[in-house]
């Protein structure tokens, strides 16, 4: 079995939700706060919310609020379909989201100050990561580690990693490409769609992709 | 009626692995290890009855098992003190307040008596709800980090009471709320902790069908006809009289029964008066079952929820409304008011039905009685939603994280 140059270190990642002071009561408020809120807030309401929205229409908190509280379905759809996989910087993501809301207000001035049904409370997550007693030196060990990760830790390694690495990739693919030397598998794994899937679904797909390569 | 509880083995962390899987439990252990034996103290106002005591009963032994020594202490106070704190409680939920000036003195004196009795040498002190809030006076002489855990809906507090309590809140290192809408513009960090239920406690664990039958038989409830149940202590904010009114509307269309099951917590002097009001509203209807149960009736509550056709939570104000999560965990279709933390648990038409009035509650009950497949789907989604967000292990993790974050801050 092929051995890696460097071990893959599994981490236990968890986060606590901190409630910020910003509260948007109109679309105009939302446009303004999207420009000024913390990057941690942008992260929480987009990347982090992917983990918790299995039942609502959209995985972005911003999109969900604009649909449910502002009744602006077209704008909500545009925000919801921003592909987070393409972003390695929260500032770039912030610009995209804010520009979409500003553009919508420009085209629909009456929507700007119409009161929302309920306010949007900006939150942010405070992360804590702890190294686990588990490393992988080959694909079989990586698969075993993925199988035994908690959901928040899987989210950390596969989804938020692109912000940490500032690359359009994830921890597993990065390690497979550079430490194990299999860029093709790395690329296959990176195509797993976390946007429209639950984290358990992502886990199953990752393991299914890795499985045929384990015996090589 | 069951007897007061005997000592049984409390669930251990590994017992939860059967529900959540080992990875989540292992990660809890990894986080706790980082705290390296730091100690926690929890303080609240009642040892039995009410959601907070129930939460702490389950949580404290698990914190201990994780190697985080946790001491739970209950403040003492006379009837006058608890009458004041009940008035505060209602006022913080937005009810009018016409307290006399000496009430504040009673409140402060009781807190001071408790402060003198207690030692605070732990690393983290968590004070639950407003009753013991002024214990923060003790923080000047202690090395610990102090956290105020607010379990109630503070979204529309009576200004007079909130202005009195707010300076105490501002002296804590952090505050915890059950919903973002409960927070205020405070100078301290405010964190979101959803309250949680214990899936292995007697109130929530799986029950044998025979036991459910026995409980229904004992209370004279007919399982062949639909049963609508609200489980809540007898408190006006739970709107038990509104529940009876909704039932009367439904009865015009469906031959159903109503169960109002609850009791009075030891810190709630209004319970008996509200119970009488509900009995008057029921007018001796044999299909309305008003069950005033003792606080240890967990198995009975569990059986009543599991055997019900629909579970109702028609609160006017609510901190979080854990009875909703309890019902969802049992895969029950839930009709609940869109107040407090309930919308976090009931996503309308996905994990339950949200309502805003007596008429709305009656309409949704009728709708679910007419559409059992849809009702079943709500229950299935509700179960998954609770599993992901509202189980005791999630709460444990949040406390461990908060301690780690406060520790880094110090």
Residue pLDDT, tens place only, B22-38: 888 888 998 999 998 89
- Given a contact cutoff of 8 angstroms between Cβ atoms, the answer to whether B346 and B324 are in contact is yes
Q: What CA dihedral angle connects A127, A131, A135 and A139, to 10 degrees?
A: 0
From the CB of residue A16, how many other CB atoms can be counted at a distance below 10 Å?
Answer: 23
- Using CA coordinates, name the residue in chain A closest to B187: A21
Contacts of A14 in chain B (CB under 8 A): 27, 31, 397, 400-401
pLDDT at position A214: 92
* pLDDT tens digits for range A120-177: 999 998 889 989 889 999 999 999 999 999 888 999 999 888 888 787 889 999 999 9
Report the gap between the CA of A76 and the closest CA in chain B (Å): 18
Measured from the Cβ of residue A206, the count of other Cβ atoms closer than 10 Å reads 24
C-alpha distances in angstroms, B246 versus B241, B283, B372? 9, 15, 19
- Phi and psi angles of residue A215, each rounded to the nearest 5 degrees, phi first: -85, 0
**pLDDT (0 to 100) of residue B3:** 52
Tokens of B321: 């409304």
Structure token digits, residue B398: 């949040």
How many residues in total does chain B contain?
Answer: 410
Torsion sign over Cα B58, A18, A9, B400: negative
Contact present, B343 and B353 (Cβ < 8 Å)? no
Contact A121 B180 (CB under 8 A): yes
Whole-number pLDDT of residue B277: 93
Contact across the interface for A130 and B34, Cβ inside 8 Å:
yes
pTM: 0.82
A55 pLDDT exceeds 70?
no
Contact across the interface for B388 and A54, Cβ inside 8 Å? yes
CA distance B126 to B70: 10
Q: How many CB pairs under 8 A join A and B?
A: 74
CB A76 within 8 A of CB A58: yes
pLDDT digits (tens, 9 = 90+) for A89-98: 999 999 999 9
Residues of B in contact with A44 (CB under 8 A): none
In angstroms, the CA B2 to CA B299 distance is 8
ipTM: 0.85
Interface touch A130/B350, C-beta < 8 Å: no
Q: Please state at what angle helix B358-370 crosses helix B240-251, rounded to 10 degrees.
A: 50
Distance CA B238, CA B233 (A): 8
Q: What is the mean pLDDT of chain B?
A: 91
Q: Is the dihedral of CA B167, B136, A20, B348 positive or negative?
A: negative
Beta-bridge mates of residue B236:
none
Q: What is the mean pLDDT of residues A166-190?
A: 93
Q: What is the pLDDT of residue A163?
A: 83
Residues of chain B with CATH 3.40.50.2000: 13-196+391-409, 209-389
For B9-66, the pLDDT digits (tens) are 678 999 999 888 888 888 899 899 999 889 999 999 987 766 788 788 888 999 999 9
For B209-255, the DSSP string reads HHHHHHHHHHTT--TTS-EEEEE--S-GGG-HHHHHHHHHHHHTT--
pLDDT at A123: 95
Would you call A14 an interface residue with chain B, using a CB distance cutoff of 8 Å?
A: yes
CA nearest to A133 within chain B: B30
Q: Cα–Cα distance between A34 and B290 in angstroms, integer? A: 51
- A44 with B192: CB under 8 angstroms? no
B192/A128 CB distance under 8 A = no
Contact A95, A111 (CB under 8 A): no
| Reported confidence tier of residue A64, pLDDT bands at 50, 70, 90 | confident
Interface test with B, best of A33, A40, A55 (most B CBs within 10 A): A55
Which of chain A's residues have a Cβ under 8 Å away from the Cβ of B31?
A: 12, 14, 128, 130
**CA nearest neighbour of A20 among A1, A44, A4:** A44
- How far apart CA B47 and CA B72 sit, in angstroms, is 9
Which of B21, B22, B23, B195 is most worth mutating to test chain A (most A CB atoms within 10 A of its CB)?
B23
Instruction: Write down the mean pLDDT value for chain A.
Output: 91
Nearest CA in chain A to B31: A130
pLDDT at A58 over 80: no
- Which of B26, B27, B177 is opposite residue A19, by nearest beta carbon? B177
Contact B351 A19 (CB under 8 A): no
A52 contacts chain B (CB < 8 A): yes
Name residues of chain B where pLDDT drops below 50: 4, 7, 265
- pLDDT at residue A54, as a whole number: 57
**Average of per-residue pLDDT across A198-209:** 91
Residue showing tokens 């083995």: B9
Residue A7: the pLDDT is 97
Q: What average pLDDT does range A63-83 have in this prediction? A: 92
SS3 B400: helix
Q: Where is pLDDT greater, at A69 or B8? A: A69
- Residue A110, chain B, CB below 8 Å: the answer is no
Instruction: Report the residue from A16, A56, A152 with minimal CB separation from B191.
Output: A16
Residues of B in contact with A132 (CB under 8 A): 26-27, 30
Laid out side by side, the sheet with A120-136 consists of A120-136, A8-24, B190-192, B174-177, B145-149, B124-128, B40-44, B70-74
- Output the pLDDT for position A127: 86
Per CATH, which fold does B13-196+391-409 belong to? Answer: Rossmann fold (3.40.50)
Q: Do B27 and A132 touch (CB under 8 A)?
A: yes
pLDDT at B50: 66
Distance from the B240 Cα atom to the nearest Cα atom in chain A, whole angstroms: 27
CA B223 vs. chain centroid, Å, equals 28
Q: Is the dihedral of CA B195, B200, B206, B212 positive or negative?
A: negative
Rounded-to-integer distance, Cα B307 and Cα A25, Å: 42
pLDDT reported for residue B174: 97
B23: which chain A residues are within 8 Å (Cβ-Cβ)? 148-150, 153
Helices (H), B239-357: 240-251, 271-282, 298-307, 322-329, 342-345
Q: Quote the CA–CA distance of B360 and B363 in Å, as a whole number.
A: 5
Query: Chain B interface residues facing chain A, Cβ-Cβ under 8 Å?
Result: 22-24, 26-27, 30-31, 33-34, 177, 180-181, 183, 185, 189-192, 347, 350-351, 381, 384-385, 388-389, 397-398, 400-402, 404-405
Q: Do B398 and A150 touch (CB under 8 A)?
A: no
**pLDDT of A57:** 63
Name the CATH superfamily housing domain B209-389.
Answer: Glycogen Phosphorylase B; (3.40.50.2000)
């Amino acid at each position: 079995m092929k051995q890696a140059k460097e071990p893959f270190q599994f981490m236990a990642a968890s986060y606590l939700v901190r409630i910020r002071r910003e509260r948007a009561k109109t679309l105009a408020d939302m446009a303004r706060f999207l420009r000024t809120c913390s990057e941690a807030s942008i992260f929480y309401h987009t990347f982090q919310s992917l983990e918790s929205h299995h039942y609502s229409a959209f995985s972005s908190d911003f999109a969900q609020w604009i649909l449910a509280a502002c009744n602006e379905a077209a704008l909500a759809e545009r925000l919801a379909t921003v592909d987070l996989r393409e972003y390695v910087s929260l500032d770039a993501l912030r610009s995209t989201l804010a520009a979409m809301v500003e553009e919508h207000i420009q085209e629909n001035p009456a929507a700007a100050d119409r009161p929302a049904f309920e306010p949007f409370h900006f939150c942010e997550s405070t992360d804590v990561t702890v190294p686990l007693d588990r490393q992988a030196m080959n694909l079989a060990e990586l698969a075993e580690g993925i199988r035994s990760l908690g959901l928040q830790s899987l989210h950390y390694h596969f989804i938020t990693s692109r912000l940490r690495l500032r690359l359009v990739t994830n921890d597993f693919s990065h390690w497979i490409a550079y430490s194990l030397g299999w860029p093709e598998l790395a690329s296959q794994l990176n195509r797993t769609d976390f946007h429209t899937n639950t984290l358990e679904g992502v886990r199953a797909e990752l393991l299914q992709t890795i499985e045929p390569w384990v015996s090589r | 009626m069951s007897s007061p509880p005997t000592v049984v083995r409390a669930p251990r962390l590994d017992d939860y692995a059967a529900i959540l899987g080992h990875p989540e439990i292992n990660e809890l252990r990894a986080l706790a290890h980082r705290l390296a034996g730091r100690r926690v103290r929890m303080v609240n106002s009642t040892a039995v009855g009410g959601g907070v005591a129930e939460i702490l009963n389950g949580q404290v032994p698990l914190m201990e098992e994780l190697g985080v020594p946790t001491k739970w202490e209950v403040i003492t106070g006379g009837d006058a003190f608890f009458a004041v704190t009940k008035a505060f409680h209602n006022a913080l939920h937005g009810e009018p307040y016409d307290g006399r000036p000496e009430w504040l003195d009673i409140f402060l004196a009781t807190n001071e008596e408790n402060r003198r009795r207690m030692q605070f040498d732990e690393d983290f002190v968590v004070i639950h709800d407003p009753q013991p809030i002024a214990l923060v006076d003790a923080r000047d002489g202690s090395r610990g980090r102090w956290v105020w855990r607010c379990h109630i809906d503070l979204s529309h507090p009576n200004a007079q009471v909130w202005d009195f309590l707010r300076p105490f809140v501002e002296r804590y290192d952090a505050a915890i709320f059950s919903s973002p809408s409960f927070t205020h513009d405070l100078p301290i960090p405010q964190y979101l902790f959803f309250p949680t239920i214990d899936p292995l406690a007697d109130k929530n664990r799986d029950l044998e069908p025979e036991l459910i039958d026995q409980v229904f038989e004992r209370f004279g409830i007919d399982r062949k006809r639909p049963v609508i149940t609200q489980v809540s202590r007898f408190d006006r904010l739970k709107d038990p009289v509104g529940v009876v009114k909704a039932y009367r509307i439904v009865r015009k269309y469906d031959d159903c029964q109503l169960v109002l099951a609850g009791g009075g917590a030891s810190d709630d002097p209004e319970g008996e008066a509200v119970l009488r009001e509900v009995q008057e509203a029921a007018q001796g209807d044999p299909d309305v079952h008003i069950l005033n149960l003792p606080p240890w009736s967990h198995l009975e509550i569990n059986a009543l929820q599991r055997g019900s056709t629909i579970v109702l939570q028609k609160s006017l104000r609510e901190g979080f409304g854990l009875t909703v999560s309890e019902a969802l965990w049992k895969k029950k279709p839930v009709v609940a008011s869109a107040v407090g933390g309930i919308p976090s648990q009931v996503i309308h038409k996905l994990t339950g039905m949200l309502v805003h009035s007596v008429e709305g509650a009656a309409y949704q009950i009728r709708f679910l009685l007419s559409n059992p497949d849809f009702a079943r789907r709500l229950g299935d989604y509700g179960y998954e939603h609770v599993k992901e967000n509202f189980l005791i292990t999630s709460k444990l993790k949040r406390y461990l994280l908060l301690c780690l974050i406060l520790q880094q801050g110090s």
